[in-house]
Amino acid sequence: MNKTNRNTTNRRRTRGTGLNESESDFIKSITDGTITTEKVKNFVTVMLESGEYNHI
């Protein structure tokens, strides 16, 4: 069984939140005031490329 694990390190789910690391980092940057348009752009790009949100 050579099944490739698609979950990469930066997509690992964080314990108890139901969010992956990039999502929780993104939300943390919103709550601590360090959010930038570049962070939003990068986050949206990663989420769209992941295919996880294709239903939207």
* Residue 27 belongs to a domain: yes
Cα–Cα distance measured from residue 30 to residue 40, given in angstroms and rounded to the nearest whole number: 10
Amino acid identity, position 8: T
Given a cut of 90, is residue 52 above it in pLDDT?
A: no
pTM over 0.85: no
* Residue 5 belongs to a domain: no
Cα–Cα distance measured from residue 39 to residue 50, given in angstroms and rounded to the nearest whole number: 16
**3-state class percentages of the chain: helix first, strand second, coil last, to nearest 5:** 50, 5, 45
* Residue 12 belongs to a domain: no
Per-residue pLDDT of 11-38, as tens digits, reads 565 555 667 777 888 889 999 999 999 9
* Residue 8 belongs to a domain: no
pLDDT of 31: 93
Show the domain range for 51: 19-56
* Residue 34 belongs to a domain: yes
Given a cut of 80, is residue 10 above it in pLDDT?
A: no
Residue with the larger pLDDT of the pair 12 and 42 = 42
Structurally, how many domains does the chain consist of?
Answer: 1
